[in-house]
Amino acid sequence: MMSLQIKDLCVTIQDRAVVRGVNLTVSAHERVGLIGASGSGKSMITRALLGTLPHHAHVSGEILVDGVDILSLSDEERAELRGTYMSAVFQNPLAALNPMARVVANVELPLALHYTMSSAEKHKRAQEALESVGLSDAFLHRFPSELSGGQAQRVAIAEALVSHPQLLIADEPTTALDSLVQKQIIDVLLERISAEKSALLFISHDFNVITKTTQRCYVLCDGQIVESGETHSVLEHPSERYTQELVAAAQEISVEAYHD
Ligand SMILES: Nc1ncnc2c1ncn2[C@@H]1O[C@H](COP(=O)(O)OP(=O)(O)OP(=O)(O)O)[C@@H](O)[C@H]1O
């Protein structure tokens, strides 16, 4: 059973502590949110998880994956975990896709990197993954530049899930999309997570999205967790002033697409 435990994680960049003593857990099949305003350190936590922190960052604490501290692994071992055990989708799908490779080749990439299988098998799995996010065979041979933002995010989700990771990290995956497409992408993401029985760590500044996607959440302020609990109780009874402000902001910009 997959388990992620972040213990006393600190990230310092050029003498500035950007993540300060963060503790966070995600268990098998759980959907957990991490919410915080811009600059609160959300992306630094994602990058610490994926092993992609800036090279001059100093990191301490532990990130236990099934009890193993992945901060103590080599770069090669970290790379092996990405795309097998854990995958990620980001705010800008076009930045995550290789612009020179067709859609099907992008989705095949994790399989090509981490598994030995025939090209026919890779192609079949990529095709199935694309179909599962609602993209027909007509998209297989397009280039990423020939996709809408929502289609590109579907391709990124197919690529992230093609290797059946136990944990998907979604770092603001809908922030760049308009509200109707946001809702479609969230629906696809949740449907795929549930079908794959993966755990989800969903990172966002937006309580509307966190409410829709997660069961439990952590509130990050200036690099520290200030509040955590079941998402609906944090939303309904925010005890910290910072959380109250995030909730109020979400209510102000609440879009009709979420009232279903
Ligand atoms: N490469 C870097 N070098 C130095 N400081 C950085 C670097 N990248 C980010 N920071 C700083 O680290 C802090 C946390 O940034 P981070 O990107 O994790 O925030 P965030 O919560 O993800 O924000 P956003 O929602 O705007 O993406 C910020 O104060 C930012 O200025």
Residue 167 phi/psi, 5-degree rounding, is -135, 130
Say which residue the tokens 């829709």 belong to: 212
Query: Ligand 1: which of 12, 20, 42 to mutate, judged by most atoms within 8 Å of the beta carbon?
Result: 42
Residue spans in the chain of domains classed CATH 1.20.1580.10: 94-164
Decide whether any atom of ligand 1 lies within 6 Å of the 54 Cβ. Answer: yes
Residue 260 pLDDT more than 50?
no
Is any ligand 1 atom within 6 A of the Cβ of residue 18? yes
Q: Per residue in 223-235, pLDDT tens?
A: 999 999 999 999 9
User: Which amino acid makes up residue 187?
Assistant: D
Query: How many CA within 13 A on the CB side of residue 190?
Result: 16
CATH superfamily of 94-164: ABC transporter ATPase  like domain (1.20.1580.10)
The letter for the amino acid at 175 is T
DSSP β-ladder status, 68-69 and 57-65:
antiparallel
Q: Is the ipTM of this complex over 0.85?
A: yes
Greatest alpha-carbon span in the chain: 55
Let me know if 140 is exposed, middle or buried by CB neighbors in 10 A (0-12, 13-18, 19+).
Answer: middle
Q: What is the pLDDT of residue 28?
A: 95
**Ligand 1 pocket: which of 19, 40, 56, 58 to mutate (most atoms <8 Å of CB)?**
40
Residue 103, classed as helix, strand or coil, is helix
Under CATH, what is the fold of the domain 3-85+167-258?
A: Rossmann fold (3.40.50)
Measured between alpha carbons, how far is 177 from 237 in angstroms, rounded to an integer? 29
Q: Of 105, 66, 112, nearest to 85 (Cα)? A: 66
Percentage of the chain surpassing pLDDT 90? 85
Residue range(s) occupied by CATH 3.40.50.300 in the chain: 3-85+167-258
